[in-house]
Structure 1
Amino acid sequence: MTAKSHSTPFSSLNDYIALPRVEGLALSPDGSRVVLTVATLTRDCTSYERALWSVPADGTGVPTRLTRSAAGESGAAFTAAGDVLFVSGRPDTAAEEGAEKGAGKDGEATQLWLLPAGGGEARLITRLAGGVTSIAAVATGANSLVIAADLLPSPVGLEAESLARKKRTEKKVAAILHESYPVRFWDHDLGPAQPHLLALDLADLHDTIARPVSPVSPDSPDSPDSPDSPDSPDSDSDSDSDSDSDSTSDAGAPAPYPADLPRPRDLTPIPARTMDTAGQALTPDGGTLIVAARVAEQRSGRYVLVSIDVATGTQTTLFDEVKVDFESPAVSLDGRQIAFVRSAVSTPDGPADQEIWVADLDGGNPRRLAAVWDRWPTSLTFDAPRDGTTTALIVTADHDGRGPIFRVPLDGGPPEQLTTDDFSYTNICVDAATGDLAALRSSWIAPAHPVRIGRSGAVTMLATPAALPDVPGTITEVETRAEDGARVRAWLLLPAGVSAQHPAPLLLWIHGGPLNSWNSWSWRWNPLLAVARGYAVLLPDPALSTGYGLEFIARGWNSWGAKPYTDLLAIVDAAKALPEIDETHTAAMGGSFGGYMANWVAGHTDRFRAIVSHASLWSLDQFNGTTDDSQYWQSIFSRQGLIDNSPHLSVRDIVTPMLVIHGDHDYRVPIGESLRLWSELAEHHANADGSTQHKFLFFPDENHWVLKPQHAVVWYETVFAFLDQHVHGADWKRPRLLG
């Protein structure tokens, strides 16, 4: 693959963050159009706003903008009638006076909206006090759908839940009582609300001149206080132990849930954290929901496959095995079969495989597909029927530094690779009429863009409001053999004008995961920004990387500091042997597992002039007890493995200048890792006056990633200033916004 060499948006960080970004894709039921979710920089350049765009699905035409609001829209999906559903925090102009929080006030909780296929304004579909988390599943042949929403654990009924939220807000109570593990996830505290799945029937959506606000009679079967109501509270559910005069007054009670909106029905009452699902799918008639539901187990949990009758809420467990997870369910277009991923829990002895299975809708006739294929599926959906019969799954998987689409036969035959280009594919949608696919695809020189894939694998680019930017330099592949004979490969991006007479400094960029692959575009980790500044960037897939088979992953299992490290050194040597590379000027960087490996590299070699360590693991025994899923990390390492592979034990051997970066809201790799790293760097390597060659860039309000546009600018400015100082000997230039 090649890229253009003239001036590009990657030469300026301000131009880079202003590039529009396609983040989602949905295909209409008739296959005629796709709806894209597109993020654009706000006028003050401090955040991104999202809008929905429609483009023809056949490669013709131009994009048409569908939505426009300050709050933005996301999570687009189509109803069976072709209406567009989305989630947004936009205000509801028809909301009655005195609506509760989450009823559409600007800046409040997000709700579900519907944009009619025939045209007209978008309209509100839900008014939940805590808002809607996402669209969980939509029926392709009925008016029903399922949404995900968080509800407080004690109140029963939507009105009682709304009142409980109001009381917490009025009393400024933020305390959370935990009764199980975990207590936080990624970048946010869990609770007090818990995840639920709620069914909606769009046939219950009514047009009115004015929204009814009068209370529903307690004697009515539709009343939330009626004994026959599915979410009827106990008679004392709203009582308080305090004596506040407004705690039970009518004036303090919320209005009844709007009668002209479909009333959400809770399919998962008393869920605790069981509705932290690993995917769900709805049958075409909307009658059955297949859920990968979490079963709590002491400090962890496993995912079981459950069938929920949408009409009654009755749950039937289809697949459940100890130390096995069942995830990513899909339902065939005829509603007769289900597909899912089955994976045993990995142990320190080695990684477990991820298996593709299919079964009848009721769980009967289960069978494994592609049993000898050791690629891990990243998504799966059923192919369109041919001559009335469904014969295959459409599966994406990491493969040799790409993310192609495969067709996996239901008869047990070998997978067929449908796309053979240098791209990775996501957001796969099947056109039920033709069997063609719509998807997003990307590579390291092309951000996500919409395409249509024919049954033969032919790819047609679709119109997009986010035109592909010109990128600097060229991209090629490098590979070598590790000491054990394993093939190790990488992408190498070279800046324009590089040659044997003008070689480029080499920047080793190590991916996170570690079960991951450098195979698709990333707005967060973008090597083209370094390429535009004259660096050759090496993106290797060492041991533990996905897309090369189970044995390749196992090479680094329970020994992160062994084969992954030597693989990196081997591929760096292969890159440095190229005439376009200046082997005397090299640096290394990485985030998450890449940050761990950057720390490991720092303590085990002096071959790099600078090392950048972002959101890194430093002391494995400390990390494993403080991360948001400690049981998993402790389960994949033996006790000795934690000791043998902990970077902090080599702190005295570090001689290379390090830039340490971390966000305080990072709960996956808690800030304590970098705090301890920084402390121990000072303990062992600071000068007598406290000065040091190392630096620590801290973001008090960012998480594992750095997502705010101006923070991204500061991140890259600091990284490039640090690299230029130590790789090129330039004077240190402090980024202006750091004061």
Structure 2
Amino acid sequence: MADERFDDFTDIEGLLRLPRHAGLAASPSGRLVAVIHQADEHGSRMVPSLWELDPAGEREAQRLTWSAKGESAPRFAPDGSLLFSSARPDPTGTADEDVAAIWRLPEHGEAHVVASAPGGLSLVAVADDGTMLATTEVLAGGTLADDAERRKARTQAKRTAIWHTGMPIRYWDHEVSDVSPRLVLVSPDGDVRELTPGADTLNLLNASADLSPDGERVATTWTTRVAGGETRSAIAVVDVRARRRRVLLRATAAHQWARPRFSPDGAALAVTRLTTSSPTDTTYDFLEIHPLGGGDPVLVDVGDVSVTEYAWADASTLLVAGDLHSRGAVLAVDASTGRVRTLVDDAPHASLAPAADGRSVFALRTDMATPAAPVRIPVRGRGETTAIKAPSRIGALPGRLEWVETDVDGVTVGGWLCTPTAASTKAPAPVMLWIHGGPHGSYNAWSWRWNPWLAVARGYAVLLPDPAMSTGYGHEGLNRGWPRLADVVWRECEQLLDHVLERRTLDGSRTALLGASFGGYMTNWIAGHSDRFDAIVTHAGLWALDQQHATTDAAAQKVRVHGHPDLLPEWYRDYSPHHSASAITTPMLLTHGNRDYRVPVSEAMRMWWDLVSAWPGSPATMPHRFLQLTDENHWVLRPSNAVTWNRAVLGFCDQHVLGGEPLPDALPW
């Protein structure tokens, strides 16, 4: 597998069946394990498995696990065994069925269950003595002791009601308030002990937690409700022996906290302080290192880097990864002074896994031309990044990748341009403009679904700008265009598009516009403010802001920033796309998942009604289309649905940009 190379980008299903790297874990003894996802036989789901990698980058990877349910969250125990979470069947019949348990795979022998719980167990951290921190869930109002009985009764009675007492009530693609997330301590021999018995349905929702190396303390985010439908997240510390919780870092109206990480000696805690967004300022992240024995925190100045994760190399060095200038960087931070050294700044890196000796760090590196793959980066001394052999099979790309930029009102705006190899002055390529989501995001990494090379293989050039509010350009870049000013973003994208269309190898008379989430909002807004494109594709796009802001799972933040339509009628009139529905003349393809709670499917349904009901001709001539994905959320995660999505999107653009055959009324795939 490792020697094969995929280079046929006209084969959409073949691309989406390639292995995808999703995580790394390094052991004290020098082992390295990766989580790798692959599509199952039918393309119905992605299945994670664990692979042994050679840290030296010499030997081929070896697959360790094979279950149909998959394995995730690998951590190494002090004895060298590999711990992980999985819902695979337990041959002894002792584990709870159909939920994830914690398993142990010794260096020699078969995997076996360490611990299970009715609400499942997801492994979070392992202490030096082998004690494990995990998360589970109990039915609202219950305890770990009575959870199994209460779940059985609920299932038998087919009860599905949820009793809400406040916001939020949804998160991305699932309901909340029916279960209470809990933190539990698991002993090396499998005893499960609840650490947060008083937690309600919100306190530990999507919590970020860590276990001190000595196993005596847990640091976790702790979320509570405040007036106005808002929530605030503090950092709490739980004394493991006494199960006593105290607030270490309080949340206020001005800021909250996230991502606590203990230093290897347990003396310090790295955290992220997040400011509260407002109509004039977006949320800013600040990296801080707090000494737990008292004293002032160390404030880390990361420059333009938008921090995505961090991990301790040793007690004196914190490693930080993040977006930087439409690429990415890994930094080494002196924990006592906050001084920063740049280790690499050529691409985004994720899943930082420091080696035991602290001299190097393993990570998953990606860029616009290559999917995530494991590498080793020197932390101390000189040396180059080393590729680690793993199942990664991307070969030759169907075109060229280059960085382009232009000046827009005194600001340099750039983006990536992917151009087909065959493009020439005699055969200029049609052009797609893609606008990214977020709006705090960046085109700096490989994407398995929004993959420009599929379009390039079809003959299109694809422009991917990083306009106002993109990550990796400091706080000033995040706030330029805030609060989500569509005209500012459009001006920067359009001027960069006009700049590249000066090339005679590109055909400005054949163009398409595509975007998702915030990018979908932008495509919807642009559709009513420009007729320069031949086709527009909008995925999970906001349409009626007065409707979306109050129905999204992030309603508190949306309403706080944008206010009520009665108080800001001009803003809503200028920036809600539905007000310009009558001006839309470009054929549009809407795609949306029914289980999307961030941008509810009601946005697409209302937009679809506005387009169809306003079409003046016969129904047979109506050019707009709607691809509804009934079991997908904000993303398209099922490989088979991703194949359909790509074929529909490219086919729609082929029809309206290239004059190709229209898609049939009933899709064949």
Is the TM value for this pair above 0.5? yes
- Structure 2 letter corresponding to 1:195: P
Structure 1 residues 403, 738: CA separation in 2 closer, same or farther (over 3 Å shift)?
Answer: same
Q: Which residue of 1 aligns with 2:110?
A: 121
SS in structure 1 at match of 2:203: coil
Q: Which residue of 2 aligns with 1:368?
A: 299
- Structure 2 letter corresponding to 1:297: V
Q: Which residue of 2 aligns with 1:111?
A: 101
Q: Structure 1, residues 396-436: CA drift from partner, whole Å, max 9, x if none?
A: 12110012111233354553221032x21000111231420
RMSD: 1.9
Q: Give yes or no for contact 2:274–2:283 (8 Å, CA) kept in 1.
A: yes
Aligned partners of 1:457 and 1:152: how far apart in 2?
52
User: Greater share of strand residues, 1 or 2?
Assistant: 2
SS in structure 1 at match of 2:344: coil
Q: Which residue of 2 aligns with 1:320?
A: 250
SS in structure 2 at match of 1:539: strand
- Structure 1 letter corresponding to 2:129: A
Q: Which residue of 2 aligns with 1:382?
A: 312
1:81, CA displacement in angstroms?
A: 2.4
- Structure 2 letter corresponding to 1:597: M
1:104, CA displacement in angstroms?
A: 4.5
| One of 615, 619, 623 as aligned partner of 2:540 | 615
- Structure 1 letter corresponding to 2:312: F
Q: Structure 1, residues 575-616: CA drift from partner, whole Å, max 9, x if none?
A: 211232111111110110110001111111111110000110
**Counterparts in 2 of 1:28-427, with a 5 A limit?**
28-30=27-29, 32-95=30-93, 103-105=95-97, 108-116=98-106, 118-132=107-121, 134-139=122-127, 141-158=128-145, 160-202=146-188, 205=189, 261-298=190-227, 299-323=229-253, 324-362=255-293, 364-370=295-301, 373-385=303-315, 390=316, 392-412=317-337, 414-421=339-346, 423-427=347-351
Q: Which residue of 2 aligns with 1:687?
A: 617
Structure 1 residues 609, 275: CA separation in 2 closer, same or farther (over 3 Å shift)?
Answer: same
Q: Structure 1, residues 145-203: CA drift from partner, whole Å, max 9, x if none?
A: 11111111223342x1110000011111112112221111111112421111111111x
Q: Structure 1, residues 245-283: CA drift from partner, whole Å, max 9, x if none?
A: xxxxxxxxxxxxxxxx32233334333311024422211
1:363, CA displacement in angstroms?
A: 5.5
| Mean Cα deviation higher: 321-330 or 608-617 | 321-330
Structure 1: gaps of 5 or more residues: 1-5, 97-102, 206-260
SS in structure 1 at match of 2:371: strand
Aligned partners of 1:676 and 1:201: how far apart in 2?
53
Aligned partners of 1:417 and 1:376: how far apart in 2?
14
- Structure 1 letter corresponding to 2:194: R
Aligned partners of 1:642 and 1:142: how far apart in 2?
57
Aligned partners of 2:341 and 2:487: how far apart in 1?
34
SS in structure 2 at match of 1:9: coil
SS in structure 2 at match of 1:604: coil
- Structure 2 letter corresponding to 1:74: S
SS in structure 1 at match of 2:270: strand
| One of 584, 595, 608 as aligned partner of 1:665 | 595
Q: Structure 1, residues 184-226: CA drift from partner, whole Å, max 9, x if none?
A: 1111112421111111111xx1xxxxxxxxxxxxxxxxxxxxx
Q: Give yes or no for contact 2:305–2:329 (8 Å, CA) kept in 1.
A: no
Aligned partners of 2:161 and 2:650: how far apart in 1?
42
Q: Which residue of 1 aligns with 2:520?
A: 595
Structure 1 residues 735, 23: CA separation in 2 closer, same or farther (over 3 Å shift)?
Answer: farther
Q: Within the alignment, does 1:493 sit opposite 2:428 as a pair?
A: no
- Structure 1 letter corresponding to 2:397: V
SS in structure 1 at match of 2:454: helix
SS in structure 1 at match of 2:413: strand
| Mean Cα deviation higher: 552-561 or 68-77 | 552-561
Q: Which residue of 2 aligns with 1:713?
A: 643
Q: Give yes or no for contact 2:210–2:219 (8 Å, CA) kept in 1.
A: yes
Q: Within the alignment, does 1:558 sit opposite 2:496 as a pair?
A: no
SS in structure 1 at match of 2:653: helix
SS in structure 2 at match of 1:446: coil
Structure 1 residues 703, 335: CA separation in 2 closer, same or farther (over 3 Å shift)?
Answer: same
Aligned partners of 1:288 and 1:410: how far apart in 2?
20
Aligned residues: 656
- Structure 1 letter corresponding to 2:643: V
Structure 1 residues 187, 413: CA separation in 2 closer, same or farther (over 3 Å shift)?
Answer: closer
SS in structure 2 at match of 1:636: helix
SS in structure 1 at match of 2:486: coil
Q: Give yes or no for contact 2:434–2:515 (8 Å, CA) kept in 1.
A: yes
Q: Give yes or no for contact 1:530–1:537 (8 Å, CA) kept in 2.
A: yes
Q: Percent identity?
A: 36
Q: Structure 1, residues 304-327: CA drift from partner, whole Å, max 9, x if none?
A: 111111122111211114121111
Q: Give yes or no for contact 2:490–2:522 (8 Å, CA) kept in 1.
A: yes
Bigger radius of gyration: 1
Return the TM-score normalized by structure 2.
Answer: 0.94
**Counterparts in 2 of 1:16-27, with a 5 A limit?**
16-27=15-26
Aligned partners of 1:293 and 1:618: how far apart in 2?
34
Q: Which residue of 1 aligns with 2:664?
A: 734
Q: Which residue of 2 aligns with 1:241?
A: none
SS in structure 1 at match of 2:396: coil
Q: Give yes or no for contact 1:524–1:705 (8 Å, CA) kept in 2.
A: no
SS in structure 1 at match of 2:481: coil
1:709, CA displacement in angstroms?
A: 1.4
Q: Give yes or no for contact 2:420–2:460 (8 Å, CA) kept in 1.
A: yes
Aligned partners of 1:367 and 1:49: how far apart in 2?
41
Q: Structure 1, residues 505-541: CA drift from partner, whole Å, max 9, x if none?
A: 1111111111111111121211111111111111111
SS in structure 1 at match of 2:578: helix
1:663, CA displacement in angstroms?
A: 0.9
**Counterparts in 2 of 1:620-699, with a 5 A limit?**
620-639=545-564, 640=568, 641-689=571-619, 691-699=621-629
| One of 368, 389, 405 as aligned partner of 1:463 | 389
Structure 1 residues 714, 550: CA separation in 2 closer, same or farther (over 3 Å shift)?
Answer: same
1:481, CA displacement in angstroms?
A: 0.9
- Structure 1 letter corresponding to 2:485: W
SS in structure 1 at match of 2:645: helix
Q: Which residue of 2 aligns with 1:14?
A: 13
Structure 2: gaps of 5 or more residues: none
SS in structure 2 at match of 1:11: coil
Structure 1 residues 453, 689: CA separation in 2 closer, same or farther (over 3 Å shift)?
Answer: closer
Q: Which residue of 2 aligns with 1:256?
A: none
- Structure 2 letter corresponding to 1:144: T
Q: Give yes or no for contact 1:318–1:362 (8 Å, CA) kept in 2.
A: no
Q: Structure 1, residues 359-407: CA drift from partner, whole Å, max 9, x if none?
A: 1125643232218x3433111222325xxxx1x3211121100121112
1:738, CA displacement in angstroms?
A: 4.6
1:563, CA displacement in angstroms?
A: 1.1
Aligned partners of 1:410 and 1:501: how far apart in 2?
58
Return the TM-score normalized by structure 1.
Answer: 0.86
